[in-house]
Structure 1
Amino acid sequence: MFKEKLILTGHIIDSLTLPKTLDTIMEQGGDFKIEELNVGKLKTDKSSAIIEVTSDDEKVFNRILDEVTDYGAEILEDKEVQLIESAKDKTVPDNFYSTTNYNTKVKYNDTWLPIENIEMDCVIVVDTDNMKAECKPLNVVKKGEKVVVGRAGVKVEPLERSRGKAEFEFMNSEASAEKPTQTIIHKIAKEMKEIKDKGGKIVVVGGPAVIHTGCSKVLASLIREGYVDKIFAGNALATHDIENALYGTSLGVDIESGELVAHGHKNHISAINTINKAGSIKEAVDQGILTSGVMYECIKNDAPYVLAGSIRDDGPLPDVITDSQVAQQRMREEVQDVDMVIMIATLLHSVATGNLIPARVKSVCVDISNASVTKLSDRGSAQVISVVTDIGSFLPILKNELEKLEEE
């Protein structure tokens, strides 16, 4: 018989942490006994529960611990973290601890060490000489690094929902096109303004639909006005933004009239060719070739951008990072200091970014497809607010709401 006593603390009733924990234990084939339960009576009061988990099967038992500790359950017995050295580069012991995107600590040498650069689906490496713990993707682990294994000495701090609902939790439930879009966008705008006023940073992760729907000017103005500090995208957004700036088209369609331009299908290739001749997007701006658009405003306002390439890219532009691992690392570096991420009409880039950001980062995913916005939640980004709406409507309304807030 395998057994362990766990403790849950916090708003475990309101956030459904307690029932989720008990359900998980039973669904995985284990058993439990609640040894102690203290329920907070006031909104500010926290609750606690001590639960004994048992199973006859070691694999089932370890699987239960894997899941319930992600909810914030801690092993009651005060244990030190277990460390095993990596046998070779890019490998870890079989029983490695796989991280979530929640704030996490490990106990080593009687000290709780916060995990730096936390993100999901990584491992924890502890520098015992300098008393530091860091989250690392598998592909950068080096031979001899000390990797956390098992669950002992690991403390996860998941997001909680208290009885007093937070402002940004306004629509944090299943995505639906029937929700009041104007109200949601107003609250997103309010959050953006508060972040800007505090000197925080916001990243927009955008797909080419931002340009196709005629919203290049809107996004460009948000960069110029300081509401958007960084851009994550692919070759397509940047290419069609530059195509629009040079020729007034996106994929050969006139942005103003919506008419297909004769021979317009070559415009995006011509745009890439023009930037290639200049040397880069920045050099095209410096030479006066590129004078407007999203990428222009990024250059003029020192807004970092990461353009991650794909197998289907035309060109691509010289600024596009074609090595996916290099692009991922650049994105990883850029999200460390952000307070909010807005993902617009790009499923793959949205999922990629969602995998990299800590749960503390306020996140919004906007897409006309219900399936796209729910994909992030399915992938573990539970903090994401989903908005199902047309991109061509979302950005202009957002800009208008921000202007109203500035006038107040």
Structure 2
Amino acid sequence: MTVSRTVELEGHIIDSGTMQRCFEVIMDLGGDFDVEAFDVGHHKDEESYARLRVLAPDDAALQSIVHELHQSGVNPADPEDATLTPAPADRVVPAGFYSTTNHPTAVRVEGEWVEVADIEMDCAVVVEGVGEEGETTARTQVLNGIEADDLVVTGEAGIRVRPPDRPRDASGPFGFMRGGVSAERPSVSRIRTVAEALAEVKADGGNVLVVAGPAVIHSGAGDALARLVREGYVDALSAGNGFATHDVERGLYGTSLGMNIETLEHPRKGHKHHIYAISEIVRAGGIAEAVDDGIVTEGVMYECVANDVDVVLAGSIRDDGPLPDTITDTVEAQNEIRRQAHEADMVVMLSTLLHSVAVGNCLPSSTRVVCVDINPATVTQLLDRGSAQAVGLVTDVGTFVPTLADELLD
């Protein structure tokens, strides 16, 4: 017995490789296909369309193939309404719930397509307002935020996913990095391209989120990042206790983790400077209070307070102190990171594996992402986790940030 399902692809499906991936998925999972229609766009701004009849030996195999195709934006030609199942209890999703990708998604409810708000990967979709007066809405929800009787989308029916199209040429802010990861040295032309993208986002009134690790301070790039904050190129900062601690230490004692950044010497008792810095902030009541009291007078955290930048410091089990501003509740920290991610139009990740992956998991695929790290594993792990829209530069953040600041400001 052979079963089949007709599916559709549309967009720049040739340039993005979507068509090839679909053929590979079908054949790898033991299926076959007939191309019923194929209309190719003949100009750069024209999209292509294909309709395929997918064949499989049984229903289980067909469902597996259709599920995999769906992740690449392939949708049924005859969509049905999405299946909505009430959650049985708080923090419990129905069996077979639909787990989201990070691509723009819509669900079909009562014959109408409803866009899913705040899209991110690995979430459930909750639909509200069904059968009521007013607008029906859909949104992503993390599993620990599910409440009893929430209407959760289950199965694969009535779901439409739209991965971002890959441009046909090398034009545009990220054209040079279409390969994903660049392991070349930080040439001025590459950093200039990132600067142009940042300037474009800000000119359009967009939101720029910087995700920074302690290496930014250790490498001497803190002053340049502080300049970018002061000049309005950073709207939000996501970091950890270590980044803020060493930034404050740098301002108070001229060291980062006990090392003088200018001379690379280790002054006597320098290894205690970060603890002294934490104690000064604790005594003041927080970083903002320390700024108001004149204790902290320079650095990235100072500029964030002075310029009203949205800062989230997420704690970890290895934090010293921690600073009063550090969020030590993991779920609360996740929620705050998620809020920042949903507001961002562009994200610049600087030398932090854990924070880069954490923020990347919360981002829709439509958000521009640049990840900079001397360790190629940071960049590749971010892409492997599903943030396929991210472009990476494997280079020294101590060179990248000052050069970026010069390109933008000088």
Residue 88 of structure 1 deviates from its aligned partner by 1.1
Structure 1 unaligned regions, length at least 5: none
Partner of 2:229: 223
8 Å CA contact 1:172, 1:386 repeated in 2: no
* Residues 1:61 and 1:227: Cα distance change in structure 2 (over 3 Å): same
Alignment partner of 1:143 is 2:148: yes
Counterpart of 2:292 (choices 280, 286, 292) is: 286
8 Å CA contact 2:342, 2:362 repeated in 1: no
CA distance, structure 1, for counterparts of residue 158 and residue 322 of structure 2? 47
Alignment partner of 1:30 is 2:36: no
Partner of 2:157: 152
Partner of 2:365: 359
The CA deviation string for residues 311-341 of structure 1, in whole angstroms up to 9 with x for no partner, is 1111110100111111010111122222100
CA distance, structure 1, for counterparts of residue 399 and residue 15 of structure 2? 35
* Residues 1:311 and 1:180: Cα distance change in structure 2 (over 3 Å): closer
Counterpart of 1:271 (choices 267, 277, 288) is: 277
8 Å CA contact 1:181, 1:389 repeated in 2: no
Partner of 2:91: 90
Residue 89 of structure 1 deviates from its aligned partner by 1.2
CA distance, structure 1, for counterparts of residue 47 and residue 365 of structure 2? 21
Residue 57 of structure 1 deviates from its aligned partner by 4.4
Letter in 1 for 2:238: F
Letter in 1 for 2:167: S
SS at match of 1:170: helix
8 Å CA contact 1:181, 1:387 repeated in 2: no
8 Å CA contact 1:204, 1:344 repeated in 2: yes
Partner of 1:103: 104
Aligned residue pairs total 404
8 Å CA contact 2:31, 2:54 repeated in 1: yes
* Residues 1:131 and 1:63: Cα distance change in structure 2 (over 3 Å): same
SS at match of 1:37: strand
CA distance, structure 1, for counterparts of residue 319 and residue 99 of structure 2? 33
8 Å CA contact 1:87, 1:143 repeated in 2: yes
Structure 2 unaligned regions, length at least 5: none
Partner of 2:354: 348
Residue 139 of structure 1 deviates from its aligned partner by 0.8
SS at match of 2:224: helix
Letter in 2 for 1:391: V
Counterpart of 1:162 (choices 167, 170, 182) is: 167
The CA deviation string for residues 361-400 of structure 1, in whole angstroms up to 9 with x for no partner, is 1100000011111111101101101001001100111011
8 Å CA contact 2:169, 2:175 repeated in 1: no
Letter in 1 for 2:373: D
SS at match of 2:283: helix
Residue 26 of structure 1 deviates from its aligned partner by 1.3
Letter in 2 for 1:358: P
Matches within 5 A, 1:233-244: 233-244=239-250
8 Å CA contact 2:37, 2:51 repeated in 1: yes
TM-score normalised according to structure 1 size? 0.96
8 Å CA contact 1:176, 1:370 repeated in 2: no
Spell out structure 1 runs of 4+ moving beyond 4 A. none
SS at match of 1:274: helix
8 Å CA contact 1:113, 1:131 repeated in 2: yes
Alignment partner of 1:45 is 2:46: yes
Letter in 1 for 2:136: M
CA distance, structure 2, for counterparts of residue 286 and residue 179 of structure 1? 41
CA distance, structure 1, for counterparts of residue 231 and residue 118 of structure 2? 29
Alignment partner of 1:16 is 2:22: no
Partner of 1:296: 302
CA RMSD of aligned residues (A): 1.4
Residue 56 of structure 1 deviates from its aligned partner by 2.8
CA distance, structure 2, for counterparts of residue 267 and residue 29 of structure 1? 62
* Residues 1:179 and 1:214: Cα distance change in structure 2 (over 3 Å): closer
CA distance, structure 2, for counterparts of residue 205 and residue 327 of structure 1? 14
* Residues 1:352 and 1:291: Cα distance change in structure 2 (over 3 Å): same
* Residues 1:3 and 1:179: Cα distance change in structure 2 (over 3 Å): farther
Work out the percentage of aligned pairs sharing the same amino acid.
47
Partner of 2:209: 203
CA distance, structure 2, for counterparts of residue 243 and residue 200 of structure 1? 32
TM-score normalised according to structure 2 size? 0.96
SS at match of 2:206: coil
CA distance, structure 2, for counterparts of residue 58 and residue 261 of structure 1? 70
Out of 38-47 and 286-295, give the one that drifted further. Answer: 38-47
SS at match of 1:152: coil
Partner of 2:338: 332
Residue 179 of structure 1 deviates from its aligned partner by 6.0
Residue 46 of structure 1 deviates from its aligned partner by 1.6
